[in-house]
Amino acid sequence: MTITELANDFTHLLKQNDHKGAAEKYNADNIVSYEAMEGPMAVCEGSDAVKQKSAWWTENHDVHSGSVEGPFVNGDQFALRFTMDVTPKSTGERVKMDEVGVYTVKDGKIVEERFYY
């Protein structure tokens, strides 16, 4: 599978709101995830830690709508643009989010993801 095929299928799964399926299919066991923030989830190492971060997000946010644009492929990486309309349960204040995820692929699996917002 080429990087473009992987990126297209990964993006298709996300657009179908199958984030768990996309992660299970394409995340490497040793994936590292970097968020553009400080705190305990700024860097998550390993697929279990990334799953826990995703579960935390789902439990702590009401997502009203969202979109995924891309993929934009370059070499062994691809980028996606995410827009979301969410309400963090901690504040109750509805916000619009705009972020870019950059994914690095090695041996047919995503080994790194970095988020910019």
* pLDDT tens digits along 8-31: 999 999 999 999 999 999 999 999
**What pLDDT is stored for residue 7 in this prediction?**
98
- Rounded-to-integer distance, Cα 29 and Cα 35, Å: 18
Average pLDDT over residues 69-84: 98
| CA distances in angstroms from 53 to 41, 108, 110, listed in the order given | 7, 23, 16
Residue 114 CA from chain centroid, whole number: 8
DSSP element (H, E) containing 112: strand 109-116
**What pLDDT is stored for residue 37 in this prediction?**
93
DSSP element (H, E) containing 45: strand 43-45
Q: What is the pTM of this model?
A: 0.95
SS (HEC) of 56-109:
HHHHHEEEEEEEEEEEEEECCEEEEEEEEEEEECCCCCCEEEEEEEEEEEECCE
